[in-house]
């Protein structure tokens, strides 16, 4: 039997796909699909090997582009695939009001992906501009084959990882920021493994983990040595995380026992005034049972927590309701209740209020980081989208001090996704509370991704965190990010957790975002240097040619 080998251009590639089959797919579609594939690495899937395919593919495609504009377009398409797939769950929020906004269903996730994809596009354009001018034939083809094993291969990887991380840092602040689904979160597996791998976030934040992730994911572009180096890097990374878990211990006195209440109220009922009394009774019943159980455990002061805007009215204007709440939960030191309130400027606030026995409100935190197009309308838009202009923002992170309860830092919903903005500067609390209402997003990846962000803030700050979500996922973590209790999505009940004392202040909690900024800038500059020094003749020739003209 004679076996005829296929032509070289049609042989199977290292990833199991034939070059010929890949070329049948339009190039723009390959880029979108590669980005969407990489979304599988994010919570709750954690399919990390897809990054070893997607990241080298994007690097090669950027270098193979005819110029920086073409590279930007390729990066944009990849980003559209990544963020549209990663944010698909936004569609569920539209379906809650499908009778009004049914026409917007196909556009919700893609439109949110557009600005995020622009940051990837900018990174790919700069990558091509700096590292692509002297790229040899081994740097890639239209199908993404090839490695960067020649001179400058390691520098290209440093440059690409640094530029991507700088883009993520920028999208945390531009237009109020949206640092959702940062690639550092791909290590937040459930259980001990994820806890070990996320510990370096206490030093370099989730942005630093993103940088390391990109360096590891791009390692196949350096051939076998690159893969071996990546595996060694993972071992060192895990060893550092395990050492931190073994050597660091909580400090300080007693901590509270938190009763995190999850009423599982569907969003359409939450917004319907006809269900207001039923909602109040549900949360009152769960709180009474949870506080009674917490007191039987005989630990620290008991605090019960209701999720974001879960009081079905204006709590600050309803002293009778506050008295009923505290009378139904005898023994509770305080309650942290999510409610809307109106300021003296006649604008609503999304607030968390501290209620004590007797029904008095002793402190209030107003959400500072509002959701664009959801809670407020950006001023640059020439037309009205958010009715009445939306909510007014609070002044920023602030430490609350409920009487008889250790000081707590409050984060409402969306605020928990911002690294470096979790606690008040100069007034470190002993624990963090995060209240949210994820009922908008259904039983999708959205609530799981949101939970991963909350867990990462606990690690970065070294502070225990309690999270109360209306429909889930409600959970508590210690300062290492280890789970203390959980109530899954779609169930009514409570999570009762005695929080351990906080850990000593972390490097990141002391220095803030300057750490990942400096790390990303140094890596980017190291990646640039070989190309700057290898092109003096190129720049000289360009200057001379302009003089002749």
Active site residue ranges: 308, 367, 413
Which residue bears the tokens 């572009």?
Answer: 221
Helix/strand/coil (H/E/C) assignment for every residue in 349-374 = EEEEEEECCCCCEEEEEECCCCCECC
Q: How far is CA 139 from CA 145, 228, 435, in A?
A: 8, 20, 48
Structure tokens at 521: 């800038």
Distance, first Cα to last Cα, the chain? 66
The packing angle between helices 201-217 and 514-533, to 10°, is: 30
Which strands sit side by side in the sheet containing 348-355, from one edge to the other?
361-366, 348-355, 334-342, 302-305, 257-262, 493-498
DSSP secondary structure string, 233-245? HHHHHHHHHHHHH
- Strand order of the sheet with strand 474-477? 399-400, 408-412, 431-436, 465-469, 474-477, 483-487
d(CA 226, CA 230): 6
C-alpha 38: how far from its chain's center? 15
- Residue 137 sits at φ, ψ, to 5 deg, of -70, -15
As beta bridge partners, residue 351 has 339, 366
The crossing angle, in degrees rounded to 10, of helices 108-131 and 51-64 is 60
């Amino acid at each position: 039997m004679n076996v005829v080998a296929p032509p070289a251009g049609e042989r199977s590639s290292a990833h199991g796909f034939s070059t010929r089959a890949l070329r049948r797919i339009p190039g723009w579609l390959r880029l979108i699909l590669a980005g969407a594939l990489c979304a599988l690495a994010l919570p709750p899937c954690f399919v990390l090997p897809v990054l070893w395919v997607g990241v080298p593919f994007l690097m090669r495609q950027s270098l193979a582009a005819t110029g920086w504009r073409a590279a930007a377009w390729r990066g944009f398409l990849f980003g559209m695939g990544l963020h549209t797939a990663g944010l698909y769950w936004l569609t569920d929020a539209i379906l809650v009001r499908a009778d009004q906004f049914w026409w917007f269903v196909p556009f919700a996730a893609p439109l949110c992906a557009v600005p995020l994809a622009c940051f990837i596009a900018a990174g790919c354009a700069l990558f091509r501009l700096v590292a692509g001018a002297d790229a040899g034939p081994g740097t890639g083809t239209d199908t993404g084959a090839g490695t960067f094993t020649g001179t400058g291969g390691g520098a290209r990887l440093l440059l690409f990882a640094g530029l991507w991380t700088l883009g993520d840092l920028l999208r945390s602040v531009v237009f109020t920021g949206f640092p959702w689904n940062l690639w550092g979160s791909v290590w937040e597996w459930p259980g001990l493994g994820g806890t070990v791998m996320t510990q370096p976030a206490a030093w370099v934040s989730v942005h630093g983990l993103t940088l390391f992730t990109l360096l590891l994911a791009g390692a196949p572009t350096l051939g076998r040595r690159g893969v071996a180096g990546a595996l060694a890097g993972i071992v060192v990374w895990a060893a550092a995380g395990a050492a931190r878990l073994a050597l660091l211990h909580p400090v300080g006195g007693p901590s509270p026992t938190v009763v995190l209440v999850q009423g599982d109220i569907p969003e359409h009922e939450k917004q319907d005034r006809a269900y207001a009394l039923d909602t109040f009774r549900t949360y009152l019943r769960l709180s009474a049972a949870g506080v009674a159980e917490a007191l039987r455990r005989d630990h620290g002061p008991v605090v019960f927590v209701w999720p974001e805007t879960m009081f079905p009215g204006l709590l600050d204007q309803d002293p009778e309701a506050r008295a009923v709440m505290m009378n139904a939960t005898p023994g509770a030191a305080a309650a942290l209740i999510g409610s809307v309130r109106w300021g003296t400027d006649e604008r609503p606030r999304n607030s968390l209020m501290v209620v004590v026995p007797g029904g008095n409100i002793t402190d209030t935190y107003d959400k500072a980081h509002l959701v664009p197009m959801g809670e407020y309308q950006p001023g640059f838009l020439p037309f009205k989208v958010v009715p009445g202009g939306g909510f007014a923002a609070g002044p920023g992170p602030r430490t609350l001090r409920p009487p008889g309860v250790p000081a707590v830092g409050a984060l409402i919903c969306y605020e928990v996704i911002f690294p470096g903005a979790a606690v008040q500067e100069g007034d470190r609390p002993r624990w963090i509370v995060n209240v949210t209402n994820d009922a908008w997003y259904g039983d999708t990846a959205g609530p799981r991704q949101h939970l991963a962000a909350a867990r990462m803030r606990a690690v970065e700050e070294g502070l225990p965190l309690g999270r109360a979500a209306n429909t889930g996922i409600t959970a508590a973590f210690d300062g290492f990010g280890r789970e203390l209790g959980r109530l899954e999505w779609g169930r009514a009940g409570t999570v009762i957790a005695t929080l351990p004392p906080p850990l000593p202040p972390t490097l990141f909690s002391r220095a803030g975002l300057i750490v990942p900024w400096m790390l990303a800038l140094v890596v980017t500059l190291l990646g640039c240097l070989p190309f700057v020094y290898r092109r003096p003749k190129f720049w000289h020739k360009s200057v001379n040619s302009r003089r002749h003209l």
